[in-house]
Structure 1
Amino acid sequence: MTDFAQATRPPHAVADDLAEGNLFVEVQVPSWPPGVTQTLVRQRDGRRALTVRAKPSGRLRVELARAGHATQVVRTVHLRLRAPGLLRLNVAWRGDDVVVAAGGQIIGSSREFSPEGIVAPEMVEETEAPLDHVGNEQARLARRRRAEVLLQQIGGEASATTGWLVALGRQVQVAADLTALAREGRHHHLAGLAEALVRLVAGDAPLLQSCAAVADAPLLVHAPVSPAPQQSPAGLIAAAFDVAAARDEHHQLAVDLDIWLRHEHPWTGGRQVPVETLLLAVASALAPARPDHEESDIDRQIRSAFAQGQPVAGFCAFASTVCGLAAAVAAKVGGGGVPPAPRL
């Protein structure tokens, strides 16, 4: 199980040969200029981290951290962007010099703290915001490859996949029943529901993703393109699980479930935590007290948040979405005993 504090800890700096290079990123711009500072991109690979934030002034703040090098910050000129849209940026560096380019022109450099100038939309390469996340197919392919490796390790593909589907059906039935009970106000069943969801979608070999890989079935959920900023633990938890089974007025972006679970979501104190790690933390916090487990501040925040209606409703909606995905996967492979998704 991933430790919540460990997941929010910044990467350790390790000496490396990252003195020269470049990085291409696609930045989704939901609104412009934003009312408050918004994090548009946060990428980490253990040796390098890139963060792109949009400022209410109409500038971008680009922060590049490299192992063995000082962190460099680039502030762009004022940008005029059409939103929602997709902004393509190229971040290039040599030593301590970092530049950010868009549309073939430099819009910011680490040498200038507050560059002057305005870039119009016509001067920056951009396109209409996509309705599908760019990494959906890659996530689906990665899921298939992981399942192939696992099946090779355990042998007996037919018996293994049949067992996975049977287990999926049982676990989804548990989740569906507990969702119904939680919606009736029996919130003491939330601990069991969280545990069932962890078994379905989290960890090294989640049931739903394994079955979807065998069936080569997509696992698409729909998320808000521009989620409203939240401050309280209750609001942050509700926002983290705010996905729907189908596109609607509020949920426009189709995103693979694995991508969403890896998405770094805001948490209290300015921290970022993957949605999967938050799910694991919820399951741990809501579980019955154990003599060998000392309640942490995170546990208390989560328990207090779930005493309110907003996170409970959002968590149950997330559970229904997961059950719906499982039903679609089972239908593709011809059954498996997975019940229909519970009604919202």
Structure 2
Amino acid sequence: MQEIKITRAEQRKEKPDSSKLVFGKYMTDHMFVVDYDEGQGWHDARIVPYAPLQIDPAAKVLHYAQEIFEGLKAYRTADGSIQLFRPMDNVRRLNLSCERIALPEVPEDLALAGITELVKLDQKWVPYEKDTSLYIRPFVIGLDPTLGVHTSHHCQYIVIVCPVGAYYPEGLAPTKIYIEDQDVRAVRGGTGMAKTGGNYAASLRAGNRAEQKGYTQVLWLDGVHRKYIEEVGAMNVMFKVNGKILTPDLNGSVLDGITRRSCIQLLKDWGYEVEERRISAEELFQAAKDGTLEEAWGTGTAAVVSPIGELAEGDEKAIINHNEIGPVTQKLYDTLTGIQWGRVPDPHGWIMKL
């Protein structure tokens, strides 16, 4: 692997109060950058002081959204050490997104080194307080300074990091979810399986409408039949129905969430039957009516596990588990966060210590 050159920041930023962290606001002192040029490959890997990027106004990332990103965290354990959770899974998913958006794939060892070396350099930013962590955002952007819909021949892979607290200010309080019946997030054959900004931009209007109605998140339906559940906001979603765990299958328009994978593995470890299949909104409301919809939750890196207490579509509403967090949801949250912060054993080798 190529050498990573380090230029240390002369002026260090004042670190925020770890008890008052806002998600994604306070960036650390440095960032990792590596360039790609067709014919030369990835080159000039470096860690430099955090600063604005200088890109041409005609850069393809600005006009044709040729970019992808990832999200993972570094955790401070009780003994003061730092560890990552399944980082190679993020690296491999990053490259799957690159392939879909026609960006050059980043060699796995280089992509991982950009993450680990940056965290090591800015390790004093990894907070110590309970439920805090260092959020890591790797991304790839196309930078060719020409208008015209073509793939970029010059790109950059960049990693930035920031200390964070809980993603939702309400913590583990159950969220209210509204089923979106107008906009579509993604369709099979589109970019739904990639982690790319366009997917999230397409979700903002529906998210605003849901907030105006008093709901926290949008639950997306499939783009063809407009009846099958796909994702909730920026997370995968799971339901406990009559003792069985249901979650939408990876049909090409659903993100292959790493927290989703981890939850499925843990649930199977505990003896639950997990079905990955198409789930209609009608099926869920019927389960709520007959009393078999026992729990629901979202899964994702930012929030880990987020319980769902109310589901609504039009004038129809369903209260789930008396609008309280359920025992399976709580156990998943406790176990996953326990593994991530080193409080409980890691039975599957998911942790990478720095």
Interval containing the TM-score (normalised by the shorter chain): under 0.3
Higher helix share: 1
Higher strand share: 2
Which structure is larger by alpha-carbon Rg, 1 or 2? 1
Higher relative contact order (CA 8 A, sep 6+): 2
